């Protein structure tokens, strides 16, 4: 899941990437899954997502790097922050997402070369 934050003129973005693994039902996703999610090219308010539900993941560790948007024009304006700790998603929840976003299946951008980028792992100290 990408949590995308754009500046007002769309020239810079910070993205938090939450990774999922099959497991218990994720109650954080239930509100989103119950909403009437938009189809490609449409926008609608789907309700609030309590990011506190991902507190364990958001505390770190996480990888960060400068990169690009994952869809055209693939502009290099993104500060990526990918959380190392996975959240869970149930098989049923994954099925709902796959059905709602079937238009995007197979539309993943290929992994890009690192080129000049540095990837940093940030580990919190408690």
Q: What is the pLDDT of residues 21-60, one digit of tens each?
A: 999 999 888 877 887 766 655 666 666 778 888 999 999 9
The pLDDT, as a whole number, for residue 1 is 87
Q: Minimal CA–CA distance to 62: which of 45, 86, 39?
A: 86
The pLDDT, as a whole number, for residue 78 is 97
d(CA 32, CA 53): 13
Global pTM? Answer: 0.84
The pLDDT, as a whole number, for residue 44 is 67
The pLDDT, as a whole number, for residue 2 is 86
d(CA 49, CA 57): 15
- Which CATH number among 3.10.200.10, 3.30.360.10, 3.90.550.10, 3.30.497.10 corresponds to the domain 2-122? 3.10.200.10
């Amino acid at each position: 899941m990408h949590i995308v934050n754009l500046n007002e003129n769309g020239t810079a973005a910070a993205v938090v990437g939450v990774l999922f693994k099959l497991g218990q039902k994720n109650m954080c996703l239930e509100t989103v899954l119950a909403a009437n999610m938009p189809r490609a090219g449409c926008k609608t308010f789907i309700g609030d997502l309590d990011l506190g539900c991902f507190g364990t993941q958001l505390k770190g560790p996480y990888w960060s790097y400068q990169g690009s948007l994952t869809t055209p024009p693939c502009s290099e304006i993104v500060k990526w922050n990918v959380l190392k700790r996975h959240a869970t998603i149930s098989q049923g929840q994954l099925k709902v997402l796959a059905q709602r976003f079937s238009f995007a299946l197979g539309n993943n951008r290929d992994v890009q070369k690192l080129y000049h980028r540095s990837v940093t792992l940030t580990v919190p100290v408690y």
